[in-house]
Every structure is written in structure tokens, then in C-alpha cells.
Amino acid sequence: MTEPKAYTEEEIRAKVLRRVWGLIEYWGDLANKTQMQRLEGLAFSILSMLDGSYVTLPRFKVVADPCPEDKQYCIDRGEKWFPEGVDIAGCLHDTLCDYRTVMDSDAPPAPAALTTEQCIKLIEVCANWNPIHGTELDDRLALIGMAIKRLTALPSGKVA
């Protein structure tokens, strides 16, 4: 038996990219979904992977790494700049839908628009999801978590 060791950079990259290709195949094969639904599902799945929602992969940092000259360039133009080292991962998949209508704006997202009924339906659909490629359990758990978070965020006794 060989001694345990850490994955190499190349091995980690291969694991991530194989997972992405598995997700592309899965979401690309869903004939009962619109193109937009498949693209949204793919984006959600990739963000879930980066956020650490998959059992077989850890959370990954998504860190701003701007060119050193960018800050001064933006200051000179009176614009905002990206600070170095800010890690935005950890909640990307949870907040993806919040930014649906914001697009490329600095404005905060509109409040979540899922109703109680939609959350319950989402949980039901996820619970009955037919796994094909082995990544679906992670996706189902992430979606169920999102629905539960929305449900518990509602004021007590209020139905959206």
C-alpha cells in the first residue's frame, strides 16, 4: 500500500474539469428542459462545485487577482477597482438566482422571488430527481438547501 499524499495541482485540475464535463453532458442531455433552464442548471452546478457543495470536491477559492496597474488606472478615471485577494466563493450558487435581473450592475439583487409554494415544489422535484451521472445528489441537496433557506427566511406565519 502506498503512503497517502496530497493531490497535485494537475490532479486537482483534472478532477474539476472532469466534473465540469460530466455536468455539461448531464445538462445538455435534458430534453425536457429549455435551453435557458439547461444553461441555468449548468451554471448553478458549476457554482455549487466551487462553493464546496459536492461530496467529492472541497470548496475552492474564487479570488480577485487584478493587474497591479488596474487600481491606479481606475483611481485616475474616478472609477471603482477590484481589490486583490477578495474571495467570493462559498455562496455563489445560493445567490445566483438573486442576480437574475441585475446583470452587469453594481446594484444589489432584488429580494428572492420564490414563493412558499415554489419552494415546496422545488423540494418535491429534487426529492424525486432520477440520478444519471452521480453528481445529481449534490445538486439536489444544494437546491433543497436553497429552498429551505428561502422558506425559513420568511417572517413567521407569512406565505409569500
Per-residue pLDDT of the chain (160 residues; tens, 9 = 90+): 889 999 999 999 999 999 999 999 999 988 898 898 999 999 999 999 999 988 889 999 999 999 989 999 999 999 999 999 999 998 888 888 877 765 555 555 544 555 666 666 666 666 655 544 444 555 666 666 666 666 655 554 444 4
Within-domain flag for 67:
yes
CA distance 19 to 45: 10
- Give the pLDDT score at 124: 64
What are the tens digits of pLDDT across the range 106-149? 555 544 555 666 666 666 666 655 544 444 555 666 666 666 66
- Residues 106-143, buried b or exposed e (16+ Cβ, 10 A)? eeeeeebebeeeebeebbeebeeeeeeeebbebbbebb
Within-domain flag for 131:
yes
Within-domain flag for 144:
yes
Does residue 23 contact residue 132 with C-beta atoms inside 8 Å? no
Within-domain flag for 1:
no
Within-domain flag for 103:
yes
Does residue 125 contact residue 33 with C-beta atoms inside 8 Å? no
Q: Which range marks the domain in which residue 18 is found?
A: 9-153
Does residue 30 contact residue 38 with C-beta atoms inside 8 Å? yes
If one counts the domains in the chain, the total is 1
